[in-house]
Chains A and B, each alone.
Chain A
């Protein structure tokens, strides 16, 4: 079924009782041309682009839980491509261009809203650094605008831009094309899109091992039986170390850390963009339902618990109220945690190998959501053609050994600082 204005009218007139399932509840077949482990945003996007761009439709996506239950539903929904390093800028800009056409491509409204992302600068030196980053972005063809304090005040009137603010604001760097998207719709839209092209989405199937023939990976053992395929792609950020250990790789440059996110009770519209603090770490936007959606730093220690601890709750609340003093009495509605693949240089890994028949997509730190379309697009290319797409050629696994790290933050091999 295609969504259209006529379909909406028909749905409304029939009491919205007849909307069909958006994807089949597939049982796994014994063999496929390719298996994607992980039914998150990246895994589903990979399957979708494998089918759409490379004609590989005999694919299974194997998911431990249910679609939309992992990190794709646990982020703060921000989409941006305001990176300085050329490898990151080119990759995330590819993602941005895919985002711009995604709802039409999927025939599914992902509610992509280009409301802008504004990074605040609190010192003249920081504003200089933003100018340099903005210039680097413009060289890559990405939009960037440097704002002074008056322009920031005009754009976000509730922000405390007074000289007596806890973190006085001198300006900011704005990416107007950046914004937010509805994260569940991204998962559902890719699942539906892949399903329509013939991909089997197998939920409640946990991978418990890899099948080998000689030195090759030839499939996976799951809680719903063995599934064979000549190509197995792993896109399970958060649990990468655990799944790859099943293939004998227990020394990846990744640590799992917990990142918390927060939603307030619904309010009248007060923030129509995404604002990020440049002193400390906080990013805040307002959902269509009116809730303020915000997050801060990761808790900062290895964790697989999908919940964090109170010190970060306190830090985040303090920073949010320092930026917007008028929300100091707003109550939190929900708070949750997601598990991040924190890589050693803050950049992702999308690569063939390191074992024949195996492909790895990992290390997203806490930037995975905005990367979803490009991650799937590039990973699909890597799997289908056994060679990386130009936009993920730098995201190798052996760059750590060879010293070709992509360290956007410049903080070195310390995962909790990226």
Chain B
């Protein structure tokens, strides 16, 4: 699996550390316990296209938002996470 790091170009997956599901949005600090439990524990866990965060720990150390297929392992694209991101994978 090659992940196209926006800074470094296509790099081997072993340079990256998996963080997890990128669709989960952190609730407000005063949100309900259920909302926090949902953020921490509940996962859609799709079979197919999945948006996820990886950190390029053995490279530029940026956190990258990757769109990947969980059945074929095909990587569709990657952009920087957060407000620096752009394009399809955001």
A contact set with B: CB distance below 8 Å = 239, 241-242, 250-256, 300-305, 309, 311, 344, 400-401, 413-416
Contacts and interface: CB of A to CB of B under 8 A. Distances in A.
Contacts of A253: 41-43
- Top 8 closest A-B pairs, CB basis? A241-B45, A251-B42, A311-B14, A253-B41, A400-B41, A401-B37, A301-B18, A344-B41
| A interface SS class | mixed
Interface of B: 1, 12-14, 18, 20-21, 33-34, 37-38, 40-47, 50, 52, 54, 68, 70-73
B41 A309 contact: no
A63 B80 CA distance: 42
Contacts of B34: 401
Nearest to A345: B41
B1 A252 contact: no
Contacts of B38: 251
Contact of B43 (A242, A252, A309, A401): A252
A242 B20 contact: no
B70 A303 contact: yes
Nearest to A398: B37
Contact of B40 (A254, A256, A302, A344): A344
B70 A309 contact: no
A253 B40 CA distance: 9
Given A300-B18, A309-B73, A414-B20, A401 B1 contact: no
Given A303-B71, A414-B20, 15 more contacts: A251-B42, A253-B42, A254-B43, A256-B70, A300-B18, A301-B68, A302-B50, A302-B70, A303-B70, A304-B70, A311-B12, A311-B13, A400-B37, A401-B34, A415-B20
Contacts of B71: 303-305
B73 A303 contact: yes
B38 to A, nearest CB: 7
A318 to B, nearest CB: 12
A242 B47 CA distance: 7
Given A300-B18, A301-B52, A311-B13, A401 B41 contact: yes
Contact of A241 (B12, B18, B40, B44): B44
B47 A304 contact: yes
Nearest to A311: B14
Contacts of A414: 20
Contacts of B47: 239, 241-242, 256, 304
Contacts of B33: 401
B55 to A, nearest CB: 12
B18 A416 contact: yes
A239 B14 CA distance: 26
Nearest to B43: A255
A52 B35 CA distance: 43
Nearest to B17: A300
A365 B38 CA distance: 20
> Chain B CB within 10 Å — which of A241, A254, A401 has the most?
A401
Given A301-B52, A302-B50, A309-B1, A241 B43 contact: yes
Nearest to B1: A309
Given A301-B18, A309-B13, A256 B73 contact: no
A242 B71 CA distance: 13
Given A309-B73, A401-B34, A302 B42 contact: no
